[in-house]
Amino acid sequence: MEHFHEEQSLGKVYDGRLMRRLLRYAKPYWHLICVCILLLLLISVTDLARPYLIKLAIDDHIMGLNRPYIEAPAGMEHDSVVTLRGINLIRADRVQEIPSEAEYYYIEKENGEHILVSDSGERAILTSEEMEALRAWDIQAIVRLGWLFLLILTIGFIMNYVQVYLLQYTGQRIVFDIRQELFAHMQRLSLAFFDGNPVGRLVTRVTNDTQTLHEMYTAVLVNLFKDVFMLVGIVIVMFRMNSRLAWVCMAAMPLIVVLTAVFRIKARAAYREVRVRLARINADFAENISGMRIVQIFRQEKRKFKEFDEVNKSHLQASMGELKVYAVFRPAMELVYSLAMALLVWVGGGDVLQGAVEFGVLYAFINYLEQFFRPINDLTEKFNILQSAMASAERLFLILDEEPTIKEKDHPKRMGHVAGRIEFKNVWFAYVGEDWILRDVSFVIEPGQTVAFVGATGAGKTTIMNLITRFYDIQKGQILIDGQDIRDLSKDELRRNVGLVMQDVFLFSGTIRDNVRLNNKEISDERIEEITRYVNAHHFIEQLPLKYDEPVMERGATLSAGQRQLLSFARALAFDPAILILDEATANIDTETEELIQDALPRLLAGRTSLVVAHRLSTIQDADKIIVLHKGRVQEMGNHQQLLAERGLYYNLFMLQYKEDFQTAIGE
């Protein structure tokens, strides 16, 4: 079912319902996000100011000699007033009201010399000193603009640093919260959920999918405000400077809208196809890695490689299809940008030559046009991130919306002192639908008894152990511990009083000591050593280089199966449970280790109710009661001698196993 929803979600570029849920995780950090948005607004202002300052420097000062001068009105004081040839000259654009009778003066350049020309036709060649005096104020103004430009760059850099740091910090905190909630929720789910969801898929959810959301929160959600600020700001500044050139730049907008719409449709389909093919690669790769031993022993390398090659090629083809979409969009936008730039230079350049527009204005427009297309060119990346985020959010919320099937009552009963009496009353159980694994199973285990469960594979032995620990809930009947239905009890308290030693021992990364203690600080180092001696594990631990501080690799890969099993016995005994379950605990170990375990078992089982699942009947002959299961029903019940005397299913199983052992002994 999850695969279906996952593929369906890939077709959505934006889902308002999902986005509202994602924004709830950002709500606790709204003040930081608002600061980031405010900083982005200020950064946009600094970005917009830079071309405008250059435009002022070009038009008002660098190209100042092209402007006409007039004689300064009497009594006027201005730093730019220059006395040339007895006349107080000032640039006409620096005077608010120019008298109608004012005579204009111009600076012309001929043969490398600057000539002062008046409306009346008078001409005077200016010396270098006079030119320096004439240009002094402009040079000072350019220096001031340069310092202002540097100041704006510095302020923009500082604000960028603060904004990026705050934004990344906020994104990381949001993802941290999502991962925390996701992991905590998964811990509350029943084993049935993990039975139907491969580990690789769940790990991908907690790592890759949450990282995709981080990119969405930072690269898209918040930075989208900067794109909007920049686009709106550029349009406003353009129209304020020159509406004619602004409309020339806006002429490219219809093409941009059409290209974006086409890209969105094509990219959505291509992205969906790639994700589906990628999921197939992950599934095929994980299956082959997990089953590598079988692949190699049956020499299936070529066939498996061929299967993977086909899946991999299909992913390659889908990826190339996606690349074509992206490869067309960005160059197409570059082409539109180039056309818009060419049109701007053509129209604006003509206006500059005709004197209708100043060169600095054209320069600023060229800069603003480049800034205008920058966020549009980044649209491909943001679009991809948004698609990935929607798909990741869908998958994450599928897990978060998964209701725990093992539900606990609001006010569970306390167990108190656990004597260890276990009763199954007409229990029916199925993992799926009505495919019953247990059928009307009833039995009683008295406190302190050791009860063994035997039967063919699939008879329901391990299922009974899982039901006692309430890893699954039964469909019919009751399971009672000390007369209380386990569904009325606290799961934590129930499992604290039940110890489980399985055939496949799981050890965590850490040390020997950590794997026995399992973070229970109440278990002292002395107690750990005492317990390991009790279960005959101390001997091999002392031979390790670091003894109890010896590092344990993932799943205990550096230890033998027997050593891992001895540690599992020590771990169970360290928590001193009232009920102990041994599920095929001696199935995959060597004879020497089995002897150590058999020696420790009486001490381990003493004083507690014990349930033992075993295929080797010789290991359970001393059990107080043996329950024989067949096709989910209790077929026989009694001790070893009673069941042999009945000459039923247990007798047949025992004789079959005894006969095989006898024949093996004769052969040896």
- Residue 355 is classified by DSSP as T
The reported pTM is 0.69
What whole-number distance in Å separates Cα of residue 9 and Cα of residue 283? 19
What whole-number distance in Å separates Cα of residue 262 and Cα of residue 111? 59
Phi, psi of 454 (to 5 degrees): -130, 165
CA-wise closest residue to 633 among 445, 475, 443: 443
Could you read off the pLDDT of 114-129 as tens digits, one per residue? 888 888 778 888 888 8
Q: Which residues of the chain are modeled with pLDDT < 50?
A: 1-11, 662-668
Which two structure tokens, joined as six digits, stand for 386?
Answer: 């948004």
Give the residue carrying structure tokens 């991962």.
Answer: 179
Which two structure tokens, joined as six digits, stand for 585?
Answer: 């605990």
Domains along the chain?
Answer: 422-667 (3.40.50.300)
- DSSP 3-state percent helix, strand, coil across the chain (nearest 5): 65, 15, 25
Whole-number pLDDT of residue 152? 93
What whole-number distance in Å separates Cα of residue 459 and Cα of residue 466? 14
Nearby residues of 614 by Cβ (< 8 Å), 6 or more positions away: 452, 454, 582, 584, 586, 587, 620
- Residue 210 is classified by DSSP as H
Could you read off the pLDDT of 589-610 as tens digits, one per residue? 666 666 776 776 776 777 788 8
Q: What is the dihedral of CA 377, 234, 157, 53, to 10 degrees?
A: 130
Phi, psi of 396 (to 5 degrees): -65, -40
By CB atoms closer than 10 A (0-12, 13-18, 19+), residue 530 is: middle
Taking only Cα atoms into account, the Rg of the chain, rounded to an integer number of angstroms, comes to 41
Identity of the amino acid at 520 = N
What whole-number distance in Å separates Cα of residue 434 and Cα of residue 475? 9
- Residue 69 is classified by DSSP as E
CB atoms near residue 348 (< 10 Å): 23
Which two structure tokens, joined as six digits, stand for 388?
Answer: 């990935």
CA-wise closest residue to 229 among 31, 19, 37, 34: 37
Whole-number pLDDT of residue 11? 44
CA-wise closest residue to 508 among 493, 500, 519, 497: 519
The answer to whether 657 and 454 are in contact (CB under 8 A) is no
In the chain, DSSP finds a helix count (H) and a strand count (E) of 23, 18
Which two structure tokens, joined as six digits, stand for 603?
Answer: 């001490």
The answer to whether 657 and 616 are in contact (CB under 8 A) is yes
CA-wise closest residue to 454 among 636, 662, 646: 636
Whole-number pLDDT of residue 4? 37
By CB atoms closer than 10 A (0-12, 13-18, 19+), residue 346 is: exposed
- Residue 442 is classified by DSSP as E
What whole-number distance in Å separates Cα of residue 459 and Cα of residue 298? 30
Report the largest interatomic distance among the alpha carbons of the chain, rounded to a whole angstrom: 140
What whole-number distance in Å separates Cα of residue 636 and Cα of residue 331? 78
Whole-number pLDDT of residue 81? 78
What whole-number distance in Å separates Cα of residue 261 and Cα of residue 267? 10
CA-wise closest residue to 226 among 384, 38, 366: 38
b/e burial code for range 531-548 (CB count within 10 A of at least 16 → b): bbebbbbbebbeeeeeeb
